[in-house]
Amino acid sequence: MAELKITKNNFEAEVIKSDIPVLIDFWATWCGPCRMLAPVVEEIAEEYDGRVKVGKVNVDEEPELAAAFRVASIPTVVVLKGGKVVQTSIGYKTKAQIAGMLEN
């Protein structure tokens, strides 16, 4: 499953009401580390298909969502289970580090 584009319009349905864990990548087009992280997030989306929902939030297009999660630096990766934040990481992370967030 490809990554979902998360917006304030689909946030509740895709994230809050999800019956599986959700990983959200907060990013921006002008952010170098975000572009480095993008293929890693894509691989996670493919490998965890059906077990984890992977979404991306463009902080320039969705400032309300970024503010709601207190995103001050990007990339920020957040893992939610049952609509609640269980893990947060700021900055570039390896695939193994992100997978570790999902395994905990």
Summarised one tens digit per residue, pLDDT across range 17-27 is: 999 999 999 99
Looking at residue 1, its pLDDT comes to 62
DSSP β-bridge partners for residue 5: 56
pLDDT tens-digit series, residues 29-80: 999 999 999 999 999 999 999 999 999 999 999 999 999 999 999 999 999 9
Active site residue 17: no
Tell me which of 4, 14, 18, 31 is the catalytic residue: 31
Q: How far apart are CA 27 and CA 32, in angstroms?
A: 10
Active site residue 42: no
Nearest of 61, 49, 57, 45 to residue 98 by alpha carbon:
45
Task: Please measure the distance between the N-terminal and C-terminal CA atoms of the chain and give it in whole angstroms.
Answer: 22
The model carries a pTM of 0.95
Domains along the chain with CATH numbers? 4-103 (3.40.30.10)
Tell me which of 23, 24, 34, 79 is the catalytic residue: 34
Looking at residue 92, its pLDDT comes to 96
Q: How far apart are CA 3 and CA 72, in angstroms?
A: 22
Greater confidence, 2 or 83? 83
